[in-house]
Amino acid sequence: MLKVEHIGIAVESLAVSVPLFEKLLNTPCYKQEEVSSEQVQTAFFQQGETKIELLEATGSDSAIAKFLAKKGAGMHHIAFEVADIHAEMARLKEEGFVLLHETPKKGADNKLICFLHPKNTNGVLIEICQEIR
């Protein structure tokens, strides 16, 4: 894995949290993007080599909506950048991690993504992502 590509934070409202993080980080949000397959609206902030990804639910049965209902706003996942997501998924599966889907999905910010179940990663939701070249 190459680097922490982004840290995902679940928020109730981007309208509230984007201005808050712009003040906190002294950095403008560089992109907002809806990913309908995940029923989320995302907002990104570049922070050096990594990013902050804010996530608002756009559907009641989205993973973010469930997370917010259960745990409230806060840290949601860590995303690691990989060079070859197919090879990394095969390696992680071989190592006994539970992949949440068999093939990579289209994520936000021009990435292919795959999540690992937190039950095998010490309770931390891990996303791996590869730039779509």
In the complex, the smallest distance separating the C-beta of residue 93 from Co ion, rounded to whole angstroms, is 20
By the rule CB under 6 A, 40 interacts with ligand LZKTLF4L = yes
Q: From CA 25, how far away is CA 68, in angstroms rounded?
A: 23
Asked whether 54 and 35 are in contact (CB, 8 A), the reply is no
Q: Closest Cα partner for 72 from 8, 12, 7?
A: 12
By the rule CB under 5 A, 82 interacts with Co ion = no
By the rule CB under 6 A, 51 interacts with ligand LZKTLF4L = no
Determine the residue with CB nearest Co ion.
8
Structure tokens at 66: 């469930």
Among 52, 63, 79, 85, indicate the residue that binds Co ion (CB under 5 A). Answer: 79
In the complex, the smallest distance separating the C-beta of residue 125 from ligand LZKTLF4L, rounded to whole angstroms, is 4
2 SS3 class:
coil
* Cβ distance to Co ion smaller for residue 42 or 123: 42
3-state helix, strand, coil in the chain (%, to 5): 30, 40, 35
Rounded to 5 degrees, φ, ψ at 7 are: -110, 125
Q: Which residues bind ligand LZKTLF4L (CB under 6 A)?
A: 8, 35, 38, 40, 42, 53, 55, 63-64, 66-67, 70, 76-77, 79, 100, 107-108, 111, 113, 115, 117-118, 123-125, 127
